[in-house]
Amino acid sequence: MTLHPVTVEFSPDSTPSLVSPTIMPSSLTGTPLKLGVLASGNGSNFEAVAQAIEAGKLNAQIQVLIYNNPEAKAAARAVNRGIPTVLLNHRDFQHREDLDQQIVQTLQQYEVEWVIMAGWMRLVTQVLIDAFPDQIINIHPSLLPSFRGVRAVEQALAVGVKITGCTVHLVCLEMDSGAILLQAAVPVLADDTPETLHARIQIQEHRILPPAITLAAQRTRGRPDAI
């Protein structure tokens, strides 16, 4: 039986959090991973990835940010960092496959190796999955397999769970269902609203997304410390 180490620590907002597997300093050497980030909204996870790269904690570079919503704040965050942005408004495409075809073309144009869905609010199709097999990563605000789909934080509150969290996983066709890379648990407090709970979950999202990208890449590159 293999025992996976886990870490319990007090995070910046003073609530204990459990992260598994333990986050190790990045040992990913060699050519930086070429990331393409897909985002629909605020982009705080995009920012977390960019900051981890700048801090030397993630051996990667963001080639392009693709966003589908003209209002997405993620776009301004990318522009501020000099990262190319491409708006692909889903309303301009008749079928999901058409949008994904354009996404694939754009990602290939920017020589993207890994696709990071950082708050990407569109269902993926086989078109995207076939172009980047096992190279698409998503972050979701629950401990999967609980609370798949939209409004995961609200779902957790409605059911009354006492612990929820976030999950970084590989993307497959079935929504929020691919292989899990890293999870962080977050306690639900008695007076939590969707906003307060989501804010606490997001602190953990920002912690686990960058190392989860490293873990996925290590697995692909066949390193001994891969999960």
Where do contacts with ligand GRF occur on this chain (CB under 6 A)?
Answer: 39, 41-45, 118-119, 139-141, 166, 202, 205
Give the nearest distance from C-beta 225 to ligand GRF in angstroms: 26
131 contacts: CB under 8 Å, gap ≥ 6: 104, 107, 108
To the query of whether residue 140 is one of the catalytic residues in this protein, the response is: yes
DSSP 8-state assignment for residue 195: H
The Cα–Cα gap between 90 and 96 comes to: 8
Give the nearest distance from C-beta 31 to ligand GRF in angstroms: 26
Give the nearest distance from C-beta 64 to ligand GRF in angstroms: 17
Residue whose entry in the numeric block shows the structure tokens 């899990």:
180
Out of 4, 90, 95, 140, the active site residue is 140
Q: For residue 123, with 0-12 CB atoms within 10 Å meaning exposed, 13-18 middle and 19 or more buried, which class applies?
A: exposed
Q: For residue 10, with 0-12 CB atoms within 10 Å meaning exposed, 13-18 middle and 19 or more buried, which class applies?
A: exposed
What tokens does 209 get?
């997304």
Judged by beta carbon, residue 17 or residue 202, the one nearer ligand GRF is: 202
For residue 174, which amino acid is it? E
The Cα–Cα gap between 39 and 85 comes to: 11
Judged by beta carbon, residue 44 or residue 106, the one nearer ligand GRF is: 44
Give the nearest distance from C-beta 43 to ligand GRF in angstroms: 5
Judged by beta carbon, residue 23 or residue 153, the one nearer ligand GRF is: 153
Cβ pair 205, 9 in contact under 8 A = no
Judged by beta carbon, residue 26 or residue 164, the one nearer ligand GRF is: 164
Q: Which residues are catalytic?
A: 140
